[in-house]
Amino acid sequence: MIAAMETQPQVHPQAQPLSIPARPELTGGRRVGVLLSHGFTGSPASMRPWGERLAARGYAVEVPRLPGHGTSWQDLNTVGWSQWRDALDETLEELAARCDAVVLAGLSMGGALVLRLAADHADDPRVAGVVVVNPALATKRLDVRLLPVLKHVVPSFPGIVNDIKRPGTDEHGYHRTPLKAAHSMMRAWPGVVADLPRIAVPLLYLRSTVDHVVDDSTEPLVMDRISSPDRTLVRLEDSYHVATLDNDAQRIVEETLRFLERVTAPAR
């Protein structure tokens, strides 16, 4: 038993999941939940301030730690897209079971994952909307074509962590990018893009005008392909990729609160 316990990866204190129950007395009597997903090589630390602000307004908040994150990049290289998707799906089911409505939200790869969930749960009336911040579903980088070979030769590349304009801010992510995990993520992109037309719920898309991690190829894919006519695009003028911790964090909160109130209001 002792040996088994010693092999468990140690989770960074800042990477612990966040779970806060609903306070329906603050949301018109309805229990409304928000599922927040962090990005690739990141952790719940990048979503915690966003989640805490939403919880302060009465919304139930769940920020799970995706498998392989918050420990070491080597751990991340042992898992992939299906495990991340399944972890979010399990969290969604648990959250929806105790809420009247749920909104899915994610940053970067987390944005791609919640779009995947929204497509998979297109017939679930409990899913009321989707919020994405700098989601990743495509790239113009040509070197990714080499990932099927490189991942067997080189375990990792330099990391993409802390693309944040505000000085002194740390997202507590990995400083190496594990290539097997990266390839798993990118192989899943075409399937998500193909199923985007299944998404008919309202979408709030928040996009940094300067992003050194995700280029501009994802935005038109999402905005043009989802079937929902309720699509809102907001430009974040003062943040880089990890906008949830950057200078536009307050605007993200405000836009999300307006979106939540609108899309989860009871039908009249």
Catalytic residue numbers read 108, 211, 241
Taking the CB of residue 100, how many other CB atoms lie within 10 A of it? 17
β-bridge partners, 207? 235
- Tokens 């409990």 found at: 126
Contact 50, 177 (CB under 8 A): no
Residues present in the chain in total: 268
Instruction: Pick the closest to residue 207 from 170, 246, 173 (CA basis).
Output: 246
Q: What is the DSSP letter of 142?
A: G
Mention every residue, 6+ apart, whose C-beta is less than 8 A from residue 74: 155, 178
Closest CA to 147 of 162, 137, 161, 157: 157
Give the span between the Cα atoms of 106 and 111, in whole angstroms: 4
Residue 64's nearest CA partner among 89, 101, 97, 37 is 37
